Structure 1
Amino acid sequence: MNTPALSPAPTPTFPDPVAEAKISAKNVSVFYGAKRAIDDVSIDIPKSYVTAFIGPSGCGKSTFLRSLNRMNDTIAGARVEGEILLDGEDIYRSGMDVVQLRARVGMVFQKPNPFPKSIYDNIAYGPKIHGITGSKSELDGIVETSLQRAGLWDEVKDRLSDSGTALSGGQQQRLCIARAIAVDPEVILMDEPCSALDPIATARIEELIDELRGRYAIVIVTHSMQQAARVSQRTAFFHIGKIVEYGTTSDIFTNPREERTKDYITGRYG
Structure 2
Amino acid sequence: MNETVQPPSLAEAIQDRPEDVVDESTSEVKMQARDVSVFYGKKKAIDEVSVDVFTEHVTAFIGPSGCGKSTFLRALNRMNDTIPSASVTGTIELDGEDIYASGMDVVQLRARVGMVFQKPNPFPKSIYENIAYGPKIHGLAEGKAELDTIVEKSLRRAGLWDEVKDRLQDSGTALSGGQQQRLCIARAIAVDPEVILMDEPCSALDPIATAKIEELIDDLRGRYAIVIVTHSMQQAARVSQRTAFFHLGHLVEYGHTSDIFTNPQQQRTQDYITGRYG
Band the TM-score falls in, shorter-chain normalisation: over 0.9
Letter in 2 for 1:130: H
Gaps of 5+ in 1: 1-15
Q: Does 1:25 align with 2:39?
A: no
- Distance in 1 between the 2:172 and 2:262 partners? 41
Alignment: residue pair count: 255
Counterpart of 2:68? Answer: 60
**TM-score with structure 2 setting the length:** 0.91
Letter in 1 for 2:129: D
Q: Alpha-carbon deviation of 1:17?
A: 6.7
Letter in 2 for 1:197: L
- Distance in 1 between the 2:210 and 2:24 partners? 32
**% of aligned pairs identical?**
82
Counterpart of 1:10? Answer: none
- Which among 178, 183, 205 is matched to residue 175 of structure 1? 183
- Distance in 1 between the 2:90 and 2:228 partners? 22
Provide, for residues 160-200 of structure 1, a one-character-per-residue CA deviation record: whole Å limited to 9, x for no partner: 00000000000000000000000000000000000000000
- Distance in 2 between the 1:25 and 1:194 partners? 26
Matches within 5 A, 1:34-183: 34-183=42-191
Provide, for residues 54-103 of structure 1, a one-character-per-residue CA deviation record: whole Å limited to 9, x for no partner: 00010000000000000000012000011000000000000110000000
Q: What is the RMSD of the two structures over their aligned residues, measured on CA atoms? A: 1.0
- Distance in 2 between the 1:36 and 1:233 partners? 29
Q: Does 1:210 align with 2:218?
A: yes
Gaps of 5+ in 2: 1-22
Counterpart of 2:270? Answer: 262
- Distance in 2 between the 1:251 and 1:153 partners? 37
Provide, for residues 21-47 of structure 1, a one-character-per-residue CA deviation record: whole Å limited to 9, x for no partner: 110001110000111000011111111
- Distance in 2 between the 1:17 and 1:238 partners? 23
Give the 4+ runs in structure 1 shifted more than 6 A: none
Q: Alpha-carbon deviation of 1:20?
A: 2.4
- Distance in 2 between the 1:220 and 1:93 partners? 25
- Distance in 2 between the 1:267 and 1:155 partners? 39
Letter in 1 for 2:45: A
- Distance in 2 between the 1:80 and 1:259 partners? 29
Q: Alpha-carbon deviation of 1:136?
A: 0.4
Matches within 5 A, 1:216-227: 216-227=224-235
Change (3 A) 1:251 1:230: same
- Distance in 1 between the 2:253 and 2:119 partners? 28
Letter in 1 for 2:258: S
Counterpart of 1:11? Answer: none
